[in-house]
Amino acid sequence: MTASSIIEYSNTRVLISKIPEGVAPNKDHFHTVTVTETKPVLEEGSVFVKNVIFSLDPYIRHEFPAGATQTPVIGFGIAKVLSSANPNFPVNSTFFGNLPWETYTTLPSSALALVVPMDLDPEIPISVYNGVLGTSGFTVWDSLRRVADLKAGETIYISSAAGTLGQVAGQLAKRKGLRVIGSAGSDEKVAFLKNALGFDAAFNYKTQDRRSAMTEAVGPKGLDIYYDLVFDNTLDIVLDLLNPHGRVISVGIVAAHQGQSVAAPKNLINILMKQLRFEGYTVYENFDQWGAFCEDMTPLVKSGEIKYAETVVEGGVEVVVETYLNVMRGVYKGKVSVLTGAADL
């Protein structure tokens, strides 16, 4: 390499400073630094990318490796290839995958084996590929088809319903002819579920008594499906309200992301007495249906038949921690993304 080919650039990154133990993550668990680096000479198979947009997901604090500090926080996002030594990832191509919270990254071929190349439709905002047309939307679309066994006329209850997954779950269930109930943490979110997304009933789990609010929302026909995104003690109530042959689809654990521990429900006997099904779903082994998902959902999102509320924050890596903490505080509805906005090198 000649001296003139060396390009120095400024890179901002977020490091883990402390592991959150039994508490919700706070600013003391993160440390943001800005360093000057030299554009790398790429090893075969690797790429140098700009991390264009980060997806701020509640699970991120669970990815902190035990005992690790001063290592970058890793979350989902979309990257654009700036230089490449990998023919499968040419310059200017984009992909979705695990990215460190930093502006620029060099990824080896082993890391690229786990990313999803993305053909971004210029008519669709890039943030949507973090949310309803990304793994969040796919998780809901696939889990409802694979394990929920939705039947028209049934009633489904969705927790964290104004979140990214909850919004999609409610609308897809509604399209299948189910009666849809949701809960969220503010009256504004409850109104959004009913007025903008067409939920049949919704309640504020923070201010209303959960058992009476859910019993009233479910009504005399009872509950058939619980699409659980929270995994908290709401399960006790649900087990009592479920009809025979009801299903609990366990998809999210927002309460655990907050450091809350959950006691096992005391009424598990309902599983036997009502012949219930309790099934967990994780997206990671189900990506074989990704193509079908894109074909099905892209036109629905483009036409506005599937609606979404999301937040895109500008300001780059410097604002990622503050924005993530706001996600955990329930400040936003739906997917929250941060654009880096840094110049291409």
Ligand X SMILES: NC(=O)c1ccc[n+]([C@@H]2O[C@H](COP(=O)([O-])OP(=O)(O)OC[C@H]3O[C@@H](n4cnc5c(N)ncnc54)[C@H](OP(=O)(O)O)[C@@H]3O)[C@@H](O)[C@H]2O)c1
Kindly tell me the sign of the dihedral angle through the C-alpha atoms of 8, 17, 328, 263.
positive
User: Binding to ligand X by residue 323, rule CB under 6 A?
Assistant: no
Binding to ligand X, residues 177-196 (CB under 6 A): 184-186, 189
Q: Closest CB to ligand X among 144 and 184?
A: 184
Q: Are 162 and 307 in contact (CB under 8 A)?
A: no
Q: Closest CB to ligand X among 78 and 229?
A: 229
List the one residue from 238, 255, 297, 338 that touches ligand X (CB under 6 A).
255
CB of 217 to ligand X, least distance (A): 15
CB of 24 to ligand X, least distance (A): 8
User: Binding to ligand X by residue 320, rule CB under 6 A?
Assistant: no
Q: Are 34 and 12 in contact (CB under 8 A)?
A: yes
Residue span 122-161 as binding mask against ligand X, x where in contact by CB under 6 A, dash where not: --------------x--x--------------------x-
Please give the residue whose beta carbon sits closest to ligand X in the complex.
163
User: Binding to ligand X by residue 170, rule CB under 6 A?
Assistant: no
User: How far, in whole angstroms, is CA 229 from its chain's centroid?
Assistant: 10
Q: Closest CB to ligand X among 253 and 320?
A: 253
Binding to ligand X, residues 40-59 (CB under 6 A): 57-59
Label the pairing between strands 47-55 and 104-107.
Answer: antiparallel
In degrees, rounded to 5, the angle at the alpha carbon of residue 196 between the alpha carbons of residues 190 and 202 is 30
Q: Closest CB to ligand X among 239 and 327?
A: 327
List the one residue from 125, 222, 265, 330 that touches ligand X (CB under 6 A).
330
User: Binding to ligand X by residue 306, rule CB under 6 A?
Assistant: no
CA-wise closest residue to 182 among 164, 212, 204, 151: 204
Question: What is the crossing angle of helices 135-143 and 290-302, to 10°?
Answer: 110
Q: Closest CB to ligand X among 211 and 221?
A: 211
Please report, as a single letter, which amino acid is at residue 66: A
User: Binding to ligand X by residue 64, rule CB under 6 A?
Assistant: no
Q: Are 216 and 191 in contact (CB under 8 A)?
A: no
Neighbours of 84 (CB within 10 A): 18
CA-wise closest residue to 20 among 341, 324, 227, 338: 324
CB of 205 to ligand X, least distance (A): 6
CA-wise closest residue to 9 among 111, 105, 73: 105
**Footprint of ligand X (CB under 6 A):** 57-59, 136, 139, 160, 162-166, 184-186, 189, 229-230, 232, 251-255, 257-258, 260, 281-283, 327, 330, 332
